[in-house]
Amino acid sequence: MRANPWIIVFVGFVALSVSFAFRAVLGLSIPEWERAVSANGLGWSRDTISAASALALSVMAVLYPFVGALVDRIGARIVVSGGCLLLAVAMTFVGNMSSPWHLALAFGVLGGVAFTLVGNNVVTVMVARVFDTRLGLATGIATSGSTAGQLAMMPLLTLGFVALGWRHTYFVVAGVCVLIACTAWWLLGGESGRTKVKTAGPARVSLLEATRILFRDPGFYALFVSFFICGITTTGIIETHFIPFAIACGFAPMLSAMSYSVLSGFNFTGMAISGWASDRFNRSWMLGGIYAGRGISFFILLGVGDSYPMLIGFAILFGLMEYSTFPPTAGLVVSRYGVANMGKAMGFLMAAHSIGAAIGAWGAGRVYTVFGSYDWAWIGCAATAFGAALVVLACKDPRHTGPHQGFRMQRMPAPA
Residues 348-360 pLDDT 10s: 898 898 888 888 8
pLDDT score of 166 more than 90: no
pLDDT score recorded for residue 37:
54
3-state secondary structure the chain: CCCCHHHHHHHHHHHHHHHHHHHHHHHHHHHHHHCCHHHCCCCCCHHHHHHHHHHHHHHHHHHHHHHHHHHHHHCCHHHHHHHHHHHHHHHHHHHCCCCHHHHHHHHHHHHHHHHHHCCHHHHHHHHHCCCCCCHHHHHHHHHCHHHHHHHHHHHHHHHHHHHCCHHHHHHHHHHHHHHHHHHHHHHCCCHHHHCCCCCEEECCCCHHHHHHHHCCCHHHHHHHHHHHHHHHHHHHHHHHHHHHHHHHCCCCHHHHHHHHHHHHHHHHHHHHHHHHHHCCCCHHHHHHHHHHHHHHHHHHHHCCCCCHHHHHHHHHHHHHHCCCCHHHHHHHHHHHHCHHHHHHHHHHHHHHHHHHHHHHHHHHHHHHHHHCCCHHHHHHHHHHHHHHHHHHHHCCCHHHHCCCCCCCEEECCCCC
Model confidence pLDDT, tens digit, residues 188-202:
776 554 444 444 455
Q: What's the CA gap between 66 and 27, in Å, rounded?
A: 28
CB 278 within 8 A of CB 393: no
Q: How confident is the model at residue 384 (pLDDT cuts 50, 70, 90)?
A: very high
Model confidence pLDDT, tens digit, residues 61-85:
888 888 888 887 777 788 888 999 9
- From 31-35, 103-107, 255-259, 345-349, the region with the lowest mean pLDDT: 31-35
pLDDT score recorded for residue 109:
92
The CA-CA-CA angle for residues 377, 382, 387, to 5°, reads 125
Give all domains of the chain, ordered by start, each with its CATH number.
Answer: 5-411 (1.20.1250.20)
**Mean pLDDT score, 95-119:** 87
pLDDT score of 126 more than 70: yes
pLDDT score recorded for residue 40:
56
Q: How confident is the model at residue 150 (pLDDT cuts 50, 70, 90)?
A: low
pLDDT score of 161 more than 90: no
Q: How confident is the model at residue 298 (pLDDT cuts 50, 70, 90)?
A: very high
pLDDT score recorded for residue 309:
92
Nearest to 357 by CA among 225, 226, 232: 232
pLDDT score of 409 more than 90: no
**Mean pLDDT score, 167-176:** 87
- From 31-35, 78-82, 201-205, 270-274, the region with the lowest mean pLDDT: 201-205
CB 357 within 8 A of CB 235: yes
* % of the chain exceeding 70 in pLDDT: 88
The answer for 133, left when phi > 0, alpha when psi is -120 to 50, beta otherwise, is beta
- From 13-17, 342-346, 374-378, 402-406, the region with the lowest mean pLDDT: 402-406
The CA-CA-CA angle for residues 398, 405, 338, to 5°, reads 70
β-bridge mates for residue 336, sequence order: none
pLDDT score of 232 more than 80: yes
pLDDT score of 303 more than 80: yes
Model confidence pLDDT, tens digit, residues 46-61:
777 777 877 887 888 8
CB 244 within 8 A of CB 30: yes
pTM (two decimals): 0.73
On the CB side of 324, CA atoms within 13 Å amount to 32
Q: What's the CA gap between 264 and 322, in Å, rounded?
A: 9
Q: What is the mean pLDDT of the chain?
A: 81
- From 151-155, 269-273, 315-319, the region with the lowest mean pLDDT: 151-155
Determine the straight-line distance between the first and last CA of the chain, rounded to whole angstroms. Answer: 13
